Structure formats: C-alpha cells, structure tokens
Amino acid sequence: MPRRRGRPRRRRGPRRGGPPPQPGARAGALVDVTAGEALELVGGLLVDAGVPRERAAAVARVVVVAEAWGIASHGLQRVPTYVDRTLAGGHPPDAELVVVRDTGPLLTLDGGGGLGHWQVAHAVAEAVPRARRYGVALVAVGDSGHCGALGVYAADVAAAGLVGLVLSCGPAAMAPWGGARPLLSTSPVAGGLPTSGGHAVVDMALSTVARGTVARYAREGRPLPEGWALDAQGRPTADPAAALHGMLAPLGGAKGSALAFLVEALTAGLVGPSLSADVADFFDPAAHGRRQGIAHTVLVVDPAATDGRGDPAGARRRLDDLAARTVEAGGRVPGARRSRPDDLDPAAPLAVDGALWRELLARRGAAPAGRRR
C-alpha cells in the first residue's frame, strides 16, 4: 500500500553474477524452460538485489508474461539491467509509493524511483475499484522506472470487465517531426477492453520499433532494417548500437510524431518529474545509478457508466459486436490470441535465448541451463 511517510528499509546485499552481454554478441541457441522456472529465476535475482519478495514477484510476472506473449524486447533480456540498475541505486529497492493527491476518481502517486512494474500494477489495482465507483478513474505514478510491456496491465483491466488505457514515457529516443535532436520517448501506449470471447489488447510504441527490439538486434549482432533508426548525427543507420545512441523514426511519420507528443504531454508533462529528454537512459551503464524519473498514466472506464441512453449493458454489447464484426470482416481482434496474464500456466513452455538464460542462471549461481531444442 502507498504510504505518506516512513523509514526506508535497509538494503540487503545481493550476489552479483556473470558479465552483461556485449553489444554485437550473437544470441545462443534457444532452450526450453517453463514459465514457472522463469518466474522463480527473475524473482530470485531481484530479491537477491534487495527488492522485497512481493514486488519482485510482480516484476517477474510482467516480464514472463511478455516473454510468453512473444514480446522478447520486454521480456527476460531486460532483467540484467533491472538488476544492475537496482544494485547501482537507480531503482532503489526500498522505494515506496507515496500518495501525493487523492480526490477519489483521481490518484497521484510518487514512486521514489522504484521499478515501474509493481508500481503500475498497484495503479491498476487502485484504478479498477475507483472506476466501478465513479465510472472513471485516473491513477498517475511519477518518479518511477521502466515498467515493461504496457499490454500486460491493459489486459488486467480488461479481465476486470473494464476499459483501460495505459501510457508511459521514457528516455528520449525520437526527434519531434522536423527536428534533429531526441526529445520524445518511444511513447508506448496500450489499451484493453473486454469482449465476449476474452479481450482485445493494443500495445505499441509510437516509434517504428521499440528500443528493446533494437537492443535485441545489438545482442544478436544483426543489422536493423532500413528506415528504423538514425545515428546521433541524424543519418540513417542499420547499426543497432548507433541507433541506441541516436534516434528512432516515428511510426507513421508526422502523425506518429504528433501522437507521441500527446503521450509525452499526458505522462511526463502532466505527472513528471521529468520530460523524456531528462530521463536517465535505461541502456546506458553510466546512468544506472540515476533514477529514471519516468511517469505512467492509467485511465480506467466502466462501460456500464458510459452508454448514451443510460443502458448499463449497452456499451458491452457494442464492444462485443465490434469484436464479432471485426472477425466477420476477415480481420483479427488486436491481442485476442494472447492469454490473460493471470492464466499463465507455470508449466507452460518458453523458448528463450540460451546465452541469456545461462547468464541469468550464472548471476544466481544456479543450474541447470535449460533444455536445448
């Protein structure tokens, strides 16, 4: 629960493991592990770094669901940096959520620089009952850290029978349209809504590609496709390392840039404490000791409260109809094939990068290294 004041807990001494992967190092062969093994390993690494067990489990849940959904850019490959940033103080393991303002339908929290996963999960847990009570709820978290795949939180809102929008900011990675310097983050946005068949979940960055995907290309030693990125001098580049120090292209040109500006305003602008241009870079080891200062905004709406004729079931019928007609038209409901996060089976198989899995095991001094494919 958020608290207004309190003495921080003493940081526990963790165990450090193997070296981080070098940019350009090729990925190893895939190995088969279970979701339960991944949850245990990720949670254990974070507990070793001093993160309280319940919060470490919340981070692990988001990471492993992303991996199970096929979003490797926000899955296990992020864990070494989460651990290193925690050890360096960039994500204080004893951070607490502090209530800044609470009007009922609006709640603002200060995250104290902590890992964003457990903080956004708490924001959703606060927003859902408030939306049921007031019809709409907005929960904002300032001074937070990277929170992983936003679609996981949007899916949690949909599972509650509500409609949600989750926004975040991050390190500057895109120039404004017509500009030459990074100012906007990749401006991730996710939305979730319930349908009779499950849910619809939209999760995307407003850059052509997520920075995590660029980092994966760097790890695997692969060139970037044309049109994804620019180097620090604004020249097109296929070098993922140069792209991480440069800029990403906006999705949809000027329109994508305008939408990214809007996401920046609704997160960094409204909540703070930093604009994306001042956020500590997740991928820069020299910045691991700095709080990121990321803002997250969670908006949840109860469809029972929004029907223009006052019919509590009207909105849900139309949402179901929208999904059904999408399929009838030969289309695909966004995210419908992704399982609900709470339905993740610990026995479910995951095919993960063998070199990465061995690195994570080495950090814990654990074995075996997974089952080769």
Q: What is the pLDDT of residues 147-184, one digit of tens each?
A: 999 999 999 999 999 999 999 999 999 989 888 889 99
- CA end-to-end distance (rounded Å), the chain: 43
Torsion of CA 138, 141, 145, 147, to 10 degrees: -20
Q: Which residue has the higher pLDDT, 290 or 13?
A: 290
pLDDT at 368: 54
User: How long a stretch of residues is the chain?
Assistant: 373
CB 241 within 8 A of CB 24: yes
What are 195-223's pLDDT values in tens digits? Answer: 998 999 999 999 988 888 898 898 888 99
Q: Which of 164, 166, 165, 260 is nearest to 210 (CA)?
A: 260
Contact 336, 197 (CB under 8 A): yes
pTM for the complete prediction?
0.88
Residue 46, C-beta contacts closer than 8 angstroms, at least 6 positions apart:
55, 56, 59, 60, 82, 83, 86, 115
pLDDT recorded at residue 140: 99
Q: Which residues contact 223 (CB under 8 A, 6 or more apart)?
A: 217, 238, 239, 240
Q: Say whether pLDDT at 328 is over 90.
A: yes
Going by pLDDT thresholds of 50, 70 and 90, the confidence category of residue 255 is very high
Say if residues 361 and 373 touch (Cβ distance below 8 Å).
Answer: no
> What is the number of other CB atoms lying within 10 angstroms of the CB of residue 124?
23
Dist. CA 199–CA 215, nearest whole Å: 30
Q: How far apart are CA 90 and CA 80, in angstroms?
A: 13
Distances (CA, A) of 10 to 17, 117, 269: 22, 21, 33
Average pLDDT, the chain: 91
Structural domains in the chain plus CATH codes: 30-207+250-313+336-366 (3.30.1370.60), 208-249 (3.30.60.50)
Residue 22 CB partners (closer than 8 Å, separation 6+): none
Share of the chain above pLDDT 90, in %: 77
State residue 246's pLDDT score. 87
Q: What's the one-letter identity of residue 92? A: P
